[in-house]
A and B are shown apart, each in its own frame.
Chain A
Amino acid sequence: MAKINPIDPDYFKDERAAPGFKVIGTTVPRSDALGHVTGRTEFFEDRTFPNLAHLKIHRSPHHHALIDSVDTSHAEQTPGVLRVLTYKDVPANWYGVLRLIGIGPDDEPVLAEDRVIYKGEPIVAVVADSEAAALEGASRVRVSYTELPAVLDVEEAMSPDAPIIKRAGTNYFVYEGHHSRRIRFGDVEAGFARADHVFDWRYSSAPIEHAPTETTGCIVVPQSNGRLLIHSNTQAAFFTLDNTALIINRAPTDLQVKGGTVGGGFGGKVDVMVEPLACIAATLTNRPVKFVYTREEEMQVSSPRAAERIYIKDGVLSDGRIVARKIMLYVDAGAYARHSPYGATKAAAHLPGPYTIPNVHADCHCVYTNRTPSSAMRGFGVTIADFAIESQMDRIARALDLDPLEFRLRNAYRDGDLKAHRKVASGTALIEVIQRAAELVGHELPEEYRAMSSTTPRGAQA
């Protein structure tokens, strides 16, 4: 890797000619870069407070188990330990982060009550004078369990004989009475019946950890006016404030979140994982409390991108037109919903890709398993769906000996097309993007494909 080219300010000079467009194509220094290169940028952990207390968690070693008893006496007697918290100390223990936009049910406890449903689930919080004392105290919590069979596979979780792991009674999120977020458009079975070729393939992805260089954390400082000041690296300050207020049963005006400086987020810092317990601990001890994940916790228990499994069945005519697409998509939410119901909805919104297909059938499931809860990450729901769709397009092109770009152009959506979601496509540009990309890489397209346009109706598609 050699030196990369400097930014070329001439590249966008035509756009700059438009009235009011002064910035595009110029180099504008980042407002935060001077702080970054001098070490003066203040991350949440760069603040020190007198009497700072530290919070650490005792977590489940099991994927799925009943909690028979919890003994915190040894933790309480550990030198330096100030306070030990269980679910009984959490005013409103059950929550769901998306309740702020009306999505329920509240399916996750801040601290586990009678059972744990993933390995690493928090059960007891220990607050101490020092980090070492908090860790020592947490290690001395004794929990006895009755292990239960774990469900670690999305399709297994959906099968009728799977153990139900959720108190709501289903191992999947319920979308307006349905087992999945659905698309029904045309008649896929009729489409497959008249297709010359049918391709049915499976795609899957593993969970992906964001691994930010700065782990998730916060410091909560009780104020003399009774309010709590939360220094946090959350990506979602107001989301955190409102959810924390609901969990600790305080007015939102009692809390102030000071954030905005995030040492890497990528979607991994939008859940509300540390602030509520730190607020409770700060209130009960009347001391500033720091709760920051260790690197091990960040890797093991912070929400990754969901693993997905996607089946795509396509009916294709000999000339390359796709006449039916059926998709069964499974998002592994892990043990709790967090942002995953929204992720599966985004996946559905993205199907069947930027192609006009007359018959579409999709079931996008948000499935619960005894795995680490997954949540937001850069384009979640969409990225893996795209991987599956575009892999499918390439494989079909190869199987039918079609040029992969021509195959896409033949099916590309155009302005005025009715999409499977019953929205009329507008502002489409896939055709032009493919044409331009082909030109840039010297990929010769026949005249018929060079003449295509997003704004020219495709004509009657049979």
Chain B
Amino acid sequence: MTVTIVNLKVNGVDQAFMARPGTTLLLALREQLGLTGAKRGCAQGACGSCTVLLDGAPVVSCLVPATTVDGADIATVEGLADGQQLSDVQQAFLDGFATQCGFCTPGMLMSAEALLARNPDPTADEVNEAISGNVCRCTGYAPIVSAILDAAERRRNRVEATH
């Protein structure tokens, strides 16, 4: 069985793993790099629990063959906080009670981070669109959408404050 060595950057750190044919980025992150924040909810790209950023764009990592990410830059939930300092999106989820069981949360956060990176002032409709691939069965989505809008506002205020 051919094994490929994959070199990539994960949360800003150079990493490498051995990928067997059929290994997904999700399983490589979880089982080889010990990054279990991204979850396996369906293994068919339908639930979004495994969402990570691949070169800045959200992907369902359960459908990404691990051998295709050589040289890529991956961001996962584990890299969002700066030490003890949560990102705006994380803090808004925490303050806005946007989590219940927590299983969809890492994927939701990554979809939200990707949205705010390209659109600092999204409408509620744009937030809905951005998380349309992330299934949550607990919250009914309202507190999640609210938290993402809140995070956008926090970010804009922070940017204004530094100018």
Contacts and interface: CB of A to CB of B under 8 A. Distances in A.
B47 A213 contact: yes
Given A37-B90, A132-B22, A43 B149 contact: no
Contacts of B96: 6
A422 interface: no
A264 B101 contact: yes
Contacts of A264: 101, 103, 137-138
Interface string A9-42: 0000000000000000000011011111111111
Contact of A38 (B42, B80, B124, B135): B80
Contacts of B40: 45
Contacts of A43: 36, 39, 103
Taking chain B's interface residues, is the majority helix, strand, or loop, or is none over half, making it mixed? Answer: loop
B3 to A, nearest CB: 14
Contacts of B135: 213
A242 interface: no
Interface residues of A, number: 38
Interface string A176-213: 00000000000000000000000000000000001111
Given A210-B137, A213-B49, A213-B135, A39 B101 contact: no
B89 to A, nearest CB: 8
B106 to A, nearest CB: 5
Interface string B78-93: 1011000010001101
Contacts of A423: none
Interface stretch (B53-61, B63-71, B140-148, B154-162): B140-148
Size bracket of the B interface? 35 or more
B127 to A, nearest CB: 8
A214 B102 CA distance: 10
B65 to A, nearest CB: 15
B150 interface: yes
A2 interface: yes
A30 B99 contact: yes
Taking chain A's interface residues, is the majority helix, strand, or loop, or is none over half, making it mixed? Answer: loop
B133 interface: no
B44 A213 contact: no
B111 interface: no
Interface string A269-301: 000000000000000000000000011000000
Nearest to B22: A132
A83 B118 CA distance: 51
B25 interface: no
Q: Quick one: which of A1, A32, A35 has the most chain B CB within 10 A?
A: A1
B18 interface: no
Contacts of A68: none
Contact of B42 (A1, A40, A265, A295): A295
A38 B39 contact: no
B42 to A, nearest CB: 4
Contacts of B103: 43, 212-214, 263-264
A175 interface: no
Contacts of B80: 38
Contact of B150 (A3, A30, A45, A294): A3
B102 A36 contact: yes
Given A4-B146, A212-B137, A38 B47 contact: no
Contacts of B5: none
B42 A39 contact: no
Q: Quick one: which of B22, B42, B86, B149 has the most chain A CB within 10 A?
A: B42
A213 B137 contact: yes
A33 B99 contact: yes
Contact of B94 (A33, A41, A45): A33
A266 interface: yes
Contacts of B102: 32-33, 35-36, 41, 261, 263
Given A262-B101, A265-B101, 13 more contacts: A2-B124, A4-B146, A29-B94, A37-B86, A38-B90, A39-B38, A45-B36, A46-B30, A48-B31, A213-B41, A264-B137, A264-B138, A295-B47
Nearest to B134: A213
A264 B100 CA distance: 8
Q: Quick one: which of B35, B47, B99, B149 has the most chain A CB within 10 A?
A: B99
Interface string A41-59: 1110110100000000000
Contacts of A212: 101, 103, 137
B149 A3 contact: yes
